[in-house]
Every structure is written in structure tokens, then in C-alpha cells.
């Protein structure tokens, strides 16, 4: 059975490796981070990295993501498509990229594209930024009615990828 207790769809074909973004795209992504905040965010990120282990930084940003989601609850839907529309409505309103949700049976597959957080936090922050998205999606899925024993976990970031892959289920 699928994530919404419906028959699972056929598995999606494997996608090709994601190429390294071109310099023009990287420039446009960097432009999405407000210059008035870039110096502060750079200093904050460096300080957090010095004070916290990578695991603790990821856990901190996961908690920030949970708080973010609690302040911006989604409307529960009856299907993966409705859930995707709800989360993308929020992301679109703040220009934080977009998400694709796919029912994988026991796991909901979430791919978040073009989040500005990695750019805002700087080089080497992909793991920590993924923690933020884990917290957001886990909280939103619980708000939408998912069982409390289900959780979100991002896959290791791929070099050059502009997407974060997250699995939500019994992990």
C-alpha cells in the first residue's frame, strides 16, 4: 500500500547523475541571498561551526526547521499531490525553491530543489542545511496526520546538486 493507504505506483525510472551547476546558475542562486544579511550569516555560520560539531549543528538546524514549520503549518491533503501543492505554496511565498513529493509505498520521497539555505550558509554547509529541511518536512508531515513514529532523513548531499533528497517514513 502507498503512503496514503492506496496501491503503490510503479517505481520511477532511475535518473541520470546531476551535473555540476554552471557558473551562471550559481551566480543567480547567490543573488537570492540578500547582501544585507550575507556578512552576518557568514559570521554566524563560522561561529556555529567552531562551537558545534557537525552533528550538533545539523541537529540545531533541524530544530530550527521544526520551529519554522510550526509557524507555517500546511493544510493536510488527501493525496500526495495536494500535500505537494501545500508545501510548495509556502516555499513559493518565500522564494525558497520547490518540492517534488513521490509516494514510495512505505516511504514518502521528497526532493527539495533550489533552497537558498546552502548559499546563505556558505561553502561546506550542505549537511547542516539538510538538517533544516528534515525538521521542516518531518513537522509538516506530522501536522498533515502522519504517525509520530515516522521521521525524515536527508540523503548525503551530492556534489554539484541543487536538490536535497529526503525520505519520510519508518527509517
* Segment 34-56, tens digit of pLDDT: 778 888 888 999 999 999 999 99
122 in Cβ contact with 30 (< 8 Å): no
Could you give the number of structural domains in the chain?
A: 1
Query: Domain limits at 158?
Result: 23-169
Query: Could you please report the per-residue DSSP string of 63-127?
Result: HHHHHHHHHSPPPP-SSHHHHHHHHHHHHHHHT--EEEEEE-SSEEEEEEE--SHHHHH-TT-HH
Answer whether residue 18 is part of any domain. Answer: no
Instruction: List the grid coordinates of 88.
Output: 510548495
- 10 by DSSP, 3-state: which? coil
Query: Contact 142/72 with Cβ under 8 angstroms?
Result: no
| CATH code, domain with 37 | 3.30.1380.20
Q: pLDDT per residue over 53-102, tens digit each?
A: 999 999 999 999 999 999 999 988 889 999 999 999 999 999 899 999 99
Tell me, yes or no, whether 5 lies in a domain. Answer: no
Whose CA is closest to 4, among 152, 166, 144, 149? 144
pLDDT tens digits, 2-12:
565 555 554 44
- Quick check: is 85 in a domain? yes
In a domain? residue 130: yes
- Determine the Cα–Cα distance for residues 73 and 122; give it in Å rounded to an integer: 28
Amino acid at each position: 500500500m502507498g503512503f496514503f493507504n492506496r496501491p503503490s505506483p510503479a517505481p520511477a525510472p532511475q535518473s541520470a547523475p546531476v551535473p555540476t551547476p554552471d557558473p551562471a546558475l550559481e551566480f543567480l542562486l547567490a543573488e537570492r541571498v540578500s547582501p544585507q544579511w550575507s556578512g552576518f550569516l557568514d559570521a554566524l555560520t563560522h561561529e556555529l561551526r567552531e562551537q558545534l560539531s557537525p552533528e550538533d549543528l545539523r541537529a540545531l538546524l533541524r530544530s530550527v526547521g521544526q520551529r519554522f514549520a510550526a509557524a507555517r503549518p500546511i493544510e493536510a491533503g488527501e493525496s500526495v499531490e495536494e500535500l505537494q501543492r501545500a508545501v510548495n505554496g509556502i516555499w513559493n511565498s518565500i522564494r525558497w525553491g520547490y518540492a517534488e513529493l513521490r509516494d514510495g509505498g512505505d516511504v514518502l520521497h521528497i526532493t527539495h530543489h533550489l533552497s537558498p539555505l546552502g548559499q546563505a550558509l556558505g561553502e561546506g554547509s550542505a549537511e547542516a542545511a539538510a538538517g533544516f529541511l528534515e525538521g521542516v518536512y518531518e513537522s509538516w508531515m506530522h501536522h498533515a496526520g502522519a504517525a509520530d513514529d515516522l521521521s525524515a532523513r536527508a540523503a548525503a548531499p551530492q556534489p554539484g546538486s541543487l536538490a536535497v533528497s529526503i525520505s519520510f517514513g519508518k527509517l
